[in-house]
Structure 1
Amino acid sequence: MDITIQNSFLPHVDPDESIAFYREVLGFEVRMDIGHGPIRWVTIGSPAQPDTAIVLYPPSATPGLTDDEQQTIAELMAKGSFGTVVLASDDVDGAFEQAVAGGAEIAQEPIDQPYGVRDCALRDPAGNMIRIQAAH
């Protein structure tokens, strides 16, 4: 039995802004865009990984959340501590330069970490932390 990663979820605040970021800054493709206005679920992914995707979702549409819980989520997103994804590149420095050129908010320039990987970090328009590390 094999278990693989199919989808991972990250919240968005503005789906159009998020689509532009993931397309233009990271080179991802939009695979599905379901809903209307700000209440949209957008599936994106790398053209190199057709079976793995990230679903950008509106956290405010999560059933059962109280107003206080929605406020907490919004505060955590603003700090960049709610959603995180780790991506890989065979050229971390090139990916970083592409992100800078695309206007991404930079959280950390490329660095060789003491635990053995080279990586950098940026934030998407919703505040999610995007780490890009050297591919193994």
Structure 2
Amino acid sequence: MPRIDIQLINRKIKLVSEDLAILKKYKDLTLDEYLNDPEIKLIIERLLEIITGQVIDINYHILKEEYESIPTDYYNSFINIAKNKIITEEFAEEIAKSAGLRNALAHNYDKIDDELVFNSIKIAIIQIPQYLSKILEFLK
């Protein structure tokens, strides 16, 4: 029978939390400051990509090991986590949007929407801790 690797998930949660702490340093940045500093843009883009990637990895691990299910894509990994009552459907719909941003950042699709990335800082700072809390509740 498949088993969730709690140590793996806890390591990922620790990494996400550490990266989130770095991202929080940029929460008071203005859009102009963000747009005019290529170094800050790269840091924030990479942090959002890594954080979202780790969260998606957690989704896939839980779905595969606990429910013997592989989602069709990153977006649906959140939807399937909600179907298994780990997070609410409403929250899943919101946080799943991060999968699209992650793909755009990872694969550098055409033009990155700088304003979307900038707005994602505050969204991630709110949503990711909520997500991690629900995962920790599920693991108990």
Give TM-score scaled by structure 1 length.
0.29
Richer in helix (by share): 2
Richer in strand (by share): 1
Q: Which has the higher contact order (CA 8 A, sep 6+)?
A: 2
